[in-house]
A = this chain, B = another copy of it.
Amino acid sequence: MTTRQPPSPSLIDVARAAGVSTATAGRALGGYGQVRAGTRERVLTAAAELGYRTNGLARSMITGSTQTIGVVVTDVANPFFAIALRGITDVVQPAGFEVLLANTAGALVAEQRALTVMSEKRVDGVIVAAAQPAEGAHLEHAIELGVPIVLLDRQVTGAADADSITIDNEHAAAEAVTHLLELGHRRIGVVTEAGEQLPALLAADDRPGGAFPSAMRLRGYLGALGAAGLEVDEHLIGSARYDRDSAYDATTRLLDLDDPPTAVLCTDNVLATGAFRAAQDRGLRMPEQLSLIGFDDEPWTTLVRPELTIVEQPTYELGTRAGQQLLDRITGGRERRTNHVQLRAKLVVRGSTGPV
């Protein structure tokens, strides 16, 4: 069978068929202004018979609102963003807003383009998990054009007028390290994506503006060791890219040290899969020979033996709060002070961590 595009009936056609003026037909279909019940009925019947579709574009040009928000993430296939996105849609759809989604694959130029397109499409606001937390000029520009922005999961330098909903990653990582310290561990390694930022993190006195969660977690690791009076041993910092194999290799390098760590913190769920596998392949008993901590309560963390101690992020809530913040900003709150919310992550202790 073939599909065929029929001629699209206009408001004028509906008005003519119902025997009313175009203005009356518009009011009846739009649900605004005064229309008598019988007239309204006639218009709706005519519209249904003709197959008339309300023109959302025309309505948006008149009302100035598209009832649409933008959501820009780096990778929608990453369970973290997929769950946060579900949180966003669960809040904004019941409020009558649709979601225009863009995936940037972590490329700043894709994010800039997405902001431009969304702004042209007159979205009512945008939630952004920034590709480059150090680069916020395009976000500030969108805000200046009247498009409210809520930052998701990461602060951004140069986007001072954007609201933000983030997780206190620094505190979360510090709490995980403190748990290991309390178990008596002193040689504590970390598998991290943020290895190349180590010199900057060691040198910096004050809190960075825009930073990836991975950098904030490494900062928490360093801070917890410092608070316990331990010196940072750079050999214990295992740099990895964001994939399982790279984390496997980084963990193997840590375990190959003359004085290997007795415990390892993985600052991300994907990195934890590689680290767990490396420990497993080496035949290390956990937690007796190695304590291991991961991030995120993914299904696998309770299927492996021992079950993995993890830092559980409130990922779904991150999405619902971001959605609610943007709705608040859109519906009358454009003049209010910028709002920054930090949610707390929770350490869930399971079998993979134990005393030295």
Q: A148: which B residues are within 8 A, CB to CB?
A: 3
Which positions 1-28 of chain A face chain B at CB distance < 8 Å?
1-6, 8
Q: How far is the CB of A96 from chain B (nearest CB, A)?
A: 9
Least CB separation from A160: chain B residue: B1
Q: A244: which B residues are within 8 A, CB to CB?
A: 299
Least CB separation from A70: chain B residue: B98
Contact with B along A133-174 (1 / 0, CB 8 A): 000000000011110100000000000110000000000000
Number of A residues near B (Cβ < 8 Å) is: 74
User: Is A100's CB under 8 angstroms from B100's CB?
Assistant: yes
Contact with B along A22-66 (1 / 0, CB 8 A): 000000000000000000000000000001011111111100001
User: Is B6's CB under 8 angstroms from A144's CB?
Assistant: yes
Q: A338: which B residues are within 8 A, CB to CB?
A: 1-3
Q: A103: which B residues are within 8 A, CB to CB?
A: 86, 89-90, 93
Which positions 57-107 of chain A face chain B at CB distance < 8 Å?
57-61, 66, 68, 71, 75-79, 81-83, 85-86, 89-90, 93, 98-103, 105
**In the complex, A86→B104 CA distance in Å?**
10
Most buried by B among A89, A103, A121, A146: A121
Contact with B along A304-316 (1 / 0, CB 8 A): 1100000000001
> Any chain B CB within 8 A of the CB of A185?
no
User: Is B85's CB under 8 angstroms from A2's CB?
Assistant: no
**In the complex, A146→B298 CA distance in Å?**
42
> Any chain B CB within 8 A of the CB of A207?
no
User: Is B53's CB under 8 angstroms from A120's CB?
Assistant: yes
Q: A57: which B residues are within 8 A, CB to CB?
A: 57, 60-61, 66, 121-122
Least CB separation from A162: chain B residue: B3
Known: A101-B99, A102-B93, A120-B53. A335 touches B3 (CB 8 A): yes
Which positions 311-356 of chain A face chain B at CB distance < 8 Å?
316, 329, 334-338
Contact with B along A101-126 (1 / 0, CB 8 A): 11101000010000001111110000
- Partner of A101 from B2, B61, B89 at Cβ < 8 Å: B89
Q: A197: which B residues are within 8 A, CB to CB?
A: none
Q: How far is the CB of A162 from chain B (nearest CB, A)?
A: 8
**In the complex, A203→B4 CA distance in Å?**
37
> Any chain B CB within 8 A of the CB of A303?
yes
Q: A105: which B residues are within 8 A, CB to CB?
A: 90
Most buried by B among A4, A160, A305, A336: A4
Stretch at the interface among A210-218, A221-229, A231-239, A272-280: A272-280
- Partner of A79 from B1, B82, B145, B316 at Cβ < 8 Å: B82
User: Is B305's CB under 8 angstroms from A146's CB?
Assistant: no
**In the complex, A268→B293 CA distance in Å?**
28
Least CB separation from A59: chain B residue: B120
The 5 closest A-B pairs by CB, nearest first: A300-B300, A82-B82, A5-B146, A77-B86, A56-B120
In the complex, given contacts A57-B122, A277-B302, A305-B305, what are 18 additional A-B residue pairs having Cβ atoms less than 8 angstroms apart? A1-B338, A3-B143, A4-B334, A5-B146, A53-B119, A53-B145, A56-B117, A57-B66, A68-B100, A76-B85, A77-B82, A77-B83, A93-B103, A98-B117, A99-B100, A99-B101, A303-B304, A304-B304
